[in-house]
Amino acid sequence: MREKPSTRGRRSRLSIINGRISDESLMRLYGETLLLLGPPGVGKSETIRRVAMKLAERKGLNFVEFADGADVDGDVFLFYDLRLTEVEPSDLLGIPMFEGDYVAF
C-alpha cells in the first residue's frame, strides 16, 4: 500500500480566473491545487472529469475513478471526486491560507 502524500507545508500559486477556462488551459495546470467555484449544474465536476480522462490518455495510463474501499493496482491515472459537502471539516488536512500570491495548507 502506498503512503498518502503529504500536503503539509506545500505551497501553491494562486491563479484567479473569472469565467470559462478551456480544457487545454486546465491540462496545463495539472499538478496544481484547483478550487472551482460556481452554482450547481454549471459543469464544474464534468469538466474536471473530462480533463482528467484526456490527461490519462495523453500519459498512456488507464483512467480509474476511485470509490472508497476500492483496490487500485498498477500504474493508473486515479480520479477521486471529493466534494466538500460530503466531508467533515476535521477530515481535511488544514485550512488554505493566503500568503501573498500563494495559498498554503
> Cα 100 from chain centroid?
22
* Percentage of the chain modeled with pLDDT above 90: 14
- C-alpha pair distances (Å), 104 with each of 74, 91, 100: 31, 17, 10
* Cα 79 to Cα 96: distance, rounded to the nearest angstrom: 22
Instruction: Count the neighbouring beta carbons within 10 Å of the beta carbon of residue 5.
Output: 6
Check if the beta carbon of residue 51 is closer than 8 Å to that of residue 23: yes
pTM of the model: 0.63
pLDDT(67) > 90:
no
* Phi, psi (degrees; rounded to nearest 5) at 26: -65, -40
* Cα 104 to Cα 95: distance, rounded to the nearest angstrom: 8
**pLDDT confidence band for 26 (50 / 70 / 90):** confident
